Structure 1
């Protein structure tokens, strides 16, 4: 039986970042990470867009606003300092109608309150940044938005943690907690403190410790389509004005770290937590639970779930999917798209009492365990400052 000061469940970007920050603070800590997959970042952390967001979508009183703003700078510097590829191509947010200009104005107000550099540009200036852009009257330009390869970042963190003498156990799924022991795979581990960063399964693990009882994860599937004709038709990330009532940013153009172009993602309600392709990873228990809550959301139409689900399901139609992106550019070869890329699942927390999506970070814990219930998008950008926040919260809880 092994014994550790702290055991982290989950080797996604959040678990890795927390371990990194813990070791920077105290190199003598005996620290272990438990991961059910054979490698780091096999779910949300390795399947996201790779965009380092600037932090202007979120209200100033949210944790996301602060962590995204600071995380953008920190993750950019981390990549530059360690030779990790980064494409500092920026982002344009465009209006496809006069009515959408009000949405741009709200984003600019949020950027100003959050201390984020976001610039007004007219149509001529926008065309200088992106000649293919189509916008009405003006657009917003984010010079600090970048693209990275999230797997490369997570692999670098893993290598660094191994050098820092962190034990990472792969193919070791958490199975339970009993008599002070964490059961994971064939291991039984004594942990003075447990940090649950299990992403899609964080709520289920939290329930074992009587935390997060009023929440459950509702999975949403994100799919991207690659533009294979060339790498030159789009220079920068291009986003629409989002519906700020929900946490999804709409179909947009992403300029990847290697210069490729993709459109997406969808936010299609999924029916089990790892519902990536077909019946892969089907779990009847998860299906019944998730489908039950999605039926409740459909009946009550909470946060306009019916229209959200309907609009997202339409995106399975390839032509419709492309047409949504086409509105933001002057020319695009509809036949220039190749295959769909590897899908991802957003682990979106639902408040079971109010039937509302939780749009900010949620953590709960005590002097023995801490549970990251909602590492909400853009958690990848937020990872470093959020890790410090989690550790500070752990220290506070251990004192009480």
Structure 2
């Protein structure tokens, strides 16, 4: 293999966003030479293979956001892809329940947002909720989302890789981004020099650091949050559908909820615990002293200033390492459940959450920066898996074909 290669498009990162970008580009420009580099040995090693697999419907987000449109369209497009490809899908639907009368307005607001976004949602009463899931509990009303489903995110990513390889897209695994060289070249961690007509940065947790090499991400940095679920290992199936609480719409986290996975496993979560380095999964795995100092510095400032309620968020999230506290948050959404059955922690995932360093606020919508040489997908924020196909199409329309 030559240590120097050329391509029309170089995509950094083989998560769902990098794969979706390659798919969209190849569909629009079949003759283009597309090369995807990935520091790991295969696709979906990080967030794309560690997320819940929920295909969200798109009713949480304000109608003027990119996220609202991408989630609505992405739910349909990903569902169609999974079914056409013969991949696993669980049409388990979703309900959002109110824990008390004070949350009824929150349920109604989610319905209004869903209707403005063109999403199939409706208010249901307690009787209809019992028909959907006899164990779900609400106060007065709940919101029903019939298009929410779950898939196997790793299976989807591997299917996309197979499709792309058949279409002629090239992959280089074990070759991460190391640095920019000259105007149009990238040096990989394996010492390869790759010259590209356009470089597309879909590096997830490291998207901001890559972007800075190109003069972008001047007002942004990634703050990592660790997400872990607790799996139910009992032989019974006490939950039929995804059950969610009314979220705090001021932050991007949806609260502890029940997810029914593609294979029928029930789990509660996730956490949103501030991590101390970007791949801070377990123990000192992937430890980086430089990242520790940088991230602890930002988290300390946010904690002391209590920006966007970070102090209470951090303290409450850390308490979720206590299993009894964690399960206690989920108990109020159901009529009965044996919390002792939640006794297996899932593989942790890290959310790459963008922070605006000027306003010290978490950025809740997609952020893209770029020019004629490079495009940087800085905030492919949750639910990026659901949004990936329409988001990739939007990036191609607005940042690639316009040039």
Determine the structure 1 residue equivalent to 2:366.
361
Unaligned ranges ≥5, structure 2: none
1:170 aligns with 2:173: yes
Greater displacement, 227-236 / 73-82: 227-236
Tell me the CA shift for residue 187 of structure 1: 1.1
1:297 aligns with 2:299: no
Over residues 285-325 of structure 1, what are the superposed CA-to-partner deviations in whole Å (9 max), with x where a residue is unaligned?
00000000001101111101111111111101000000101
SS at match of 1:2: strand
SS at match of 1:335: helix
**1:102-251 counterparts in 2 under 5 A?**
102-179=105-182, 180-184=184-188, 185-230=190-235, 232-251=237-256
Whole-Å separation in 2 of the counterparts to 1:309 and 1:269: 7
CA contact (8 A) 1:132 1:329 kept: yes
Unaligned ranges ≥5, structure 1: none
Whole-Å separation in 2 of the counterparts to 1:186 and 1:309: 40
Q: Give the TM-score normalised by structure 1.
A: 0.98
Tell me the CA shift for residue 260 of structure 1: 0.8
CA contact (8 A) 1:366 1:397 kept: no
Over residues 6-36 of structure 1, what are the superposed CA-to-partner deviations in whole Å (9 max), with x where a residue is unaligned?
0000000000001011111121110100100
**1:25-64 counterparts in 2 under 5 A?**
25-64=28-67
Whole-Å separation in 1 of the counterparts to 2:277 and 2:197: 33
Tell me the CA shift for residue 392 of structure 1: 1.1
Determine the structure 2 residue equivalent to 1:76.
79
> What is the aligned counterpart of 2:277 among 252, 272, 281?
272
Tell me the CA shift for residue 98 of structure 1: 0.4
Determine the structure 2 residue equivalent to 1:387.
392
> Which stretches of structure 1, 4 residues or longer, exceed 4 Å deviation after superposition?
none
CA RMSD between the two structures: 0.8
Residue correspondences, number: 398
